Amino acid sequence: MKKQALLVIADGMGDLPNSELNGQTPLEFAHTPSLAMLASQGMFGNIHPVKPGVPVGTDVGHLAIFGYDPYEVYTGRGPIEAYGAGIDMEPGDIAFRGNFATVDDEFTVLDRRAERINVGTEALAAAIDGVVLSDGTLVIARALSAHRVAVVLRGKGLSAAITTTDPGTAKEGHKIVEPAALDASAEAQHTAELVWELTEKIYPILSLHPVNQTRLINRQVPANMILLRGVGEEIKAPKISSRYGIKGACIAGDRTVLGIARMAGLDVFHKPEFTAGFDTDFMAKAELALSKLSEGYDWVVLHVKAPDLAGHDNLPQVKVEMAEKLDQMVGYMADKLDLDQCYISYTSDHSTPCSRRDHSGDPVPTFVAGGDVRRQELSGFGERYVVHGCLTNMTGQDFFLTQMDLLGVVPKLGA
């Protein structure tokens, strides 16, 4: 009988010893009997998302988890956000990730996230979607989660070799950056001019929009600008579905992850209760994952963003709570699955230590469990517990191939 596989991704769960947790990491401190039980039923270890000592972004970490070499395929965050927004990029397009922001008449940034606006963003994006620039270049805009937005330029002679308009994190009080070419090409110079033209068009359109008029009445700051960053061209990479002949599904609340999965050829599934925050519905995700396995999907990926947020906000106790909720979710699924027929794997895209409040280059606890998987002794689950495992020092790309090999879809190298 053909086997299946379930992969659970705990975004940013990896961490460092924390004084608030008696010198343990959140994963070590948390009560996670299901993760420990499953890890003991297979191979485990601390794997490097891409390379030892290299901190990676969510986008790069997930590219590796989905089997890609980021050094070969990564062109920027913008194209991934475009995929996540449901935009089908075409050759020659360039894409940006953007923030709805608040600026004054002089284009000084007053609030980089417009108070983290999360209502009315679809209407604001729709007001920019379809704008045509002076040379005929079409602007495509789609709202993402909260204050985020994907923007694609579609026209002739565009280049991603430009700087972008976002002055950077915590740069309130700084002016929007006028784009500049990063090489001597006419295409780069022209594209930089187009992006500035778009920026100048965005301000009056959004300033006069009913959503912002309502915000002003309610004494909220207007979302009257889109700060653009993460520019990149279409990502050219083979789809997992065609390369390995599998049918895959991805369940997530995070649009970046959904975008990478869609780019990789997986069917993506999202519901309103699948947030990219602490309030995500763990059990609803579990039920949907089980449903997709019952429908015959070969590889089902279930993503949880919450641990990463706790790391960025330096909330070790909340990270422990998220680990325990995730463990309950995994235990629920494990009770309903047969390890002789369905492998269960777990990993993270990167570490987000609470003490650092940002991504680090530390390896992440990982396992793959199954009835026919090699096993080792294990006394608990977390960074220090799995250090002796046979997966230690693998990369995310290696771990992807390990799962595919267990499914029997990796072609033999050589005769």
Contact 144, 150 (CB under 8 A): yes
How would you write the pLDDT of the chain (415 residues) with one tens digit per residue?
Answer: 789 999 999 999 999 999 999 999 999 999 999 999 999 999 999 999 999 999 999 999 999 999 999 999 998 899 999 998 989 899 999 999 999 999 999 999 999 999 989 899 999 999 999 999 999 999 999 999 889 999 999 999 999 999 999 998 778 999 999 999 999 999 999 999 999 999 999 999 999 999 999 999 999 999 999 999 999 998 888 999 899 999 999 999 998 899 999 999 999 999 999 988 899 999 999 999 999 999 999 999 999 999 999 999 999 999 999 999 999 999 999 999 999 999 999 999 999 999 999 999 999 999 999 999 999 999 999 999 999 999 999 999 999 999 999 999 999 999 8
* Angstrom distance (rounded) from CA 399 to CA 401: 5
Residues 6+ apart with CB under 8 A from 97: 77, 78, 80, 81, 144, 148, 149, 150, 228, 229, 230
Residues found in the chain: 415
Closest to 232 (Cα-Cα) out of 69, 95, 105, 337: 95
Residue 111 DSSP label = E
Show me where the domains of the chain are located: 4-73+238-406, 80-233
pLDDT number for residue 169: 79
pLDDT number for residue 145: 83
Secondary structure of residue 139 in the 3-state scheme:
strand
Tell me how far the alpha carbon of residue 130 is from its chain's centroid. Answer: 27
Q: Please give the backbone phi and psi of residue 238, each rounded to the nearest 5 degrees, phi first.
A: -65, 145
* Angstrom distance (rounded) from CA 156 to CA 186: 12
pLDDT number for residue 173: 95
Q: What is the DSSP string of 381-415?
A: -STTTSTTSTTTT-BHHHHHHHHHHHTT-SPPS--
Q: How far apart are the first and last CA of the chain?
A: 26
**Dihedral sign, Cα of residue 361, residue 362, residue 365, residue 368:** positive
Contact 316, 333 (CB under 8 A): no
Q: Please give the backbone phi and psi of residue 170, each rounded to the nearest 5 degrees, phi first.
A: 55, 35
pLDDT number for residue 413: 94
248-251 and 299-304 strand pairing: parallel
To the question of pTM greater than 0.95 for the whole model, the response is no
Provide the CATH topology of domain 4-73+238-406.
Alkaline Phosphatase, subunit A (3.40.720)
Residue 277 DSSP label = S
342-347 and 4-10 strand pairing: parallel
Cα Rg, the chain, nearest whole Å: 22
Region of residue 130 (left: phi > 0; alpha: psi -120 to 50; beta: else): left
pLDDT number for residue 240: 92
